[in-house]
Structure 1
């Protein structure tokens, strides 16, 4: 009898472990699918394919779905390079791109950071290093570039500070006007080549292929349930490159939560769940703004809002013998903001998750803020918010793929969110 009971218990443990393994692998498969589609810039074929894929998945599990469109004047970058010292180097235009400005140039390169007489910048291609910003334009960067533009430069070669040496693409910000001269983002690993060209005084040749076009970009919004109160689950779906560690975990968790809500809808009859996948993230959160202003439930009708931003389950790195090595542990620097109103359920569900957790209260609202698009939703008056967002080591670089997360890390955050939602909505 004891042997039979032991066997039953063992089989039960194996069954649970197997289910957990499968859950993590399913989440990871979603990340791989997202990466495989290509580079996810707003309004591109890949972006449209992504929202259509998500719509199809939501349709399968009983959601009422729709696309929410918004206008964008988009530059469609098809490729380009800088020929310097007979080497072909990567680049990326800095958005917003003015369609009237010739992005392809030739000329002598001068080091703007070492030139005290700004009159010498006139008519030159100017090399400069951008201030560190976490991959987003800010006032410091704009002032830095405008100073060079006002000096009469004909183009700016902008080195982007990076952990990996690659180009770090920069998001635009509100009211940023298209640059009046071309600005090209380049990799910090190529700094030596640019310095050699400056010393030799030889020309560099810059070629850009692409075009500008006004388009309608789109979010994907799915609803399930008929309750008078709303629960919103949001995530960005667009980005500069394949965004495996940046976008992938949030999107995979978003889809996993949608499947879970669909299967357990009988537990949540008082609520309507709204899942929104927002494009336009890299263009000053245009899709999130559109959703908040045109498609979201009213703040007073919203019982809970969970935002799944960047790198919610990215792997950590550690330095050994002067070299950075990727680990299987989660990057504990990920940020999680939660409102005081949901603190009891949140702190219980997330007790064992490593992160920089910040509780927002009425007293600290001026200093403790939600990151990413979560901050936008707070500004629009939404309460009961949990917002996860972080700029991980491969944030906004071309090689950010599925290897920057793992099944175990994805499953951990997904399970914590399910526990949190269940407990919070019981109250």
Structure 2
């Protein structure tokens, strides 16, 4: 059974009505054990590309519904319409070499076989414009399109190629405003490793063939919402479930911890639990907005909201002699953010965990990511985790980006903080 939301305007039926649909919990195991968490990461990554409305996204919805129901939750899919670009082919051909590429949303396609024209950093009629983006440009929530792309698309160029700088040489996809108007010309992203060759070709005015084939259809996407009804205010546990590629570290590490905590809380506490895995994250958290507008418990009925963001339990990576190498610890830039009243307890729960051991007070400093949205709606207290990563938004973000020894401490830290906060 599922619930359909048409373009954010439907209202989800009362969560309390779901209680009778819950299935009995399975045998008692430790849901926060590292091996169990990593198994869930591997499963998530194996389901394919997790872009909103794709087959991999639908498979993730079905998997999460099964897991929540097995843990004793009444769980349903909250469906909403979303335009889905079904990508057929995206690549660049330069001097006989085929280079990696990916569209920048909202895509407009080339003719079959692509478009061939001289490459130029100045753009202009009859040319393919080349721009280079700084690392992280356009990759965050609610980020405006990089001005270089806007200018190049308006120059009369027949296509735009944007090199996405990345410390590991990867192509990094860019987030986009929900349902943004399609570009006037094809806009394709290129990997940092190919930037030097593309810039040299542009300086010489060499021809480039850009191919972007596919079609846009009106598709379906789903949030997954679970409820374990008990008296009292809700404890809300949220995380995004969608992303550009396989997203094992970006989304999978947080989703595994979300599942582990959902199981642990249902088995060991008497909280009134609401858990949500939201779709549409790469489109400025679209599904999260659908949930808060139609199905979330109101702030006055919520005692705590815990938001698990990107890359929360991932190893750092580096290039060594041209090879990608996993390092022993996490990257810099891990953030634990919470309401002022929880600061001391947060520091205690995450003592010794790099980055997280020094929490950020969101009552004094603007919170990161989706936590800012939840705070703006009046939810308090709040807890949020998020981290940067050099493989964020790249095709190389696979299951080996995390592991049991990275996942378990973060999961247990969050469990300890939730227990202390409630």
User: What TM-score range do you get, normalising by the shorter chain?
Assistant: 0.7 to 0.9
Q: Is the 8 A contact 1:234 1:278 kept in 2?
A: yes
Q: How many angstroms does 1:41 deviate by?
A: 0.4
In 2, the alpha carbon distance for the partners of 1:298 and 1:306 equals 15
In 2, the alpha carbon distance for the partners of 1:240 and 1:321 equals 28
SS in 2 for 1:330: coil
1:27 equivalenced with 2:24 (yes/no): no
In 2, the alpha carbon distance for the partners of 1:202 and 1:323 equals 30
Match of 2:17 in 1: none
Aligned counterparts, 1:394-409, within 5 A: 394-409=391-406
In 2, the alpha carbon distance for the partners of 1:165 and 1:319 equals 9
1:168 equivalenced with 2:202 (yes/no): no
Task: Report how many residues are paired.
Answer: 392
Cα deviation digits, residues 18-53 of structure 1 (max 9, x gap)? x98991111111111111111110001110100110
Q: How many angstroms does 1:199 deviate by?
A: 5.1
Unaligned runs of 5+ in 1: 1-18
Match of 2:82 in 1: 72
Match of 1:335 in 2: 335
Aligned counterparts, 1:370-385, within 5 A: 370-385=367-382
- Distance 1:48-1:324 versus aligned 2 partners, 3 A rule: closer
Q: Is the 8 A contact 2:239 2:258 kept in 1?
A: yes
1:261 equivalenced with 2:265 (yes/no): yes
- Distance 1:177-1:341 versus aligned 2 partners, 3 A rule: farther
Q: How many angstroms does 1:107 deviate by?
A: 2.6
2:59 to 39, 44, 49: 49
Cα deviation digits, residues 221-278 of structure 1 (max 9, x gap)? 001132220011111111111111111110110110111112113xx2xx31111011
1:359 equivalenced with 2:366 (yes/no): no
The TM-score with structure 1 as length reference comes to: 0.85
Comparing 168-177 with 154-163, greater Cα deviation is found at: 168-177
Q: How many angstroms does 1:361 deviate by?
A: 5.1
Q: How many angstroms does 1:69 deviate by?
A: 1.6
Match of 1:301 in 2: 301
Q: Is the 8 A contact 1:224 1:272 kept in 2?
A: yes
Q: How many angstroms does 1:319 deviate by?
A: 7.7
Cα deviation digits, residues 322-370 of structure 1 (max 9, x gap)? 98742222334211111112223322211222115443354x2xxx222
- Distance 1:143-1:197 versus aligned 2 partners, 3 A rule: closer
Unaligned runs of 5+ in 2: 1-28
Q: How many angstroms does 1:378 deviate by?
A: 1.5
In 1, the alpha carbon distance for the partners of 2:231 and 2:303 equals 11
Q: How many angstroms does 1:418 deviate by?
A: 1.2
Match of 1:144 in 2: 148
The TM-score with structure 2 as length reference comes to: 0.86
In 2, the alpha carbon distance for the partners of 1:129 and 1:420 equals 42
Match of 1:133 in 2: 136
SS in 2 for 1:408: helix
Cα deviation digits, residues 267-326 of structure 1 (max 9, x gap)? x2xx31111011100011101111111111001111111111101011134687998742
Match of 2:412 in 1: 415
- Distance 1:42-1:104 versus aligned 2 partners, 3 A rule: farther
- Tell me how large the CA RMSD over aligned residues is: 2.5
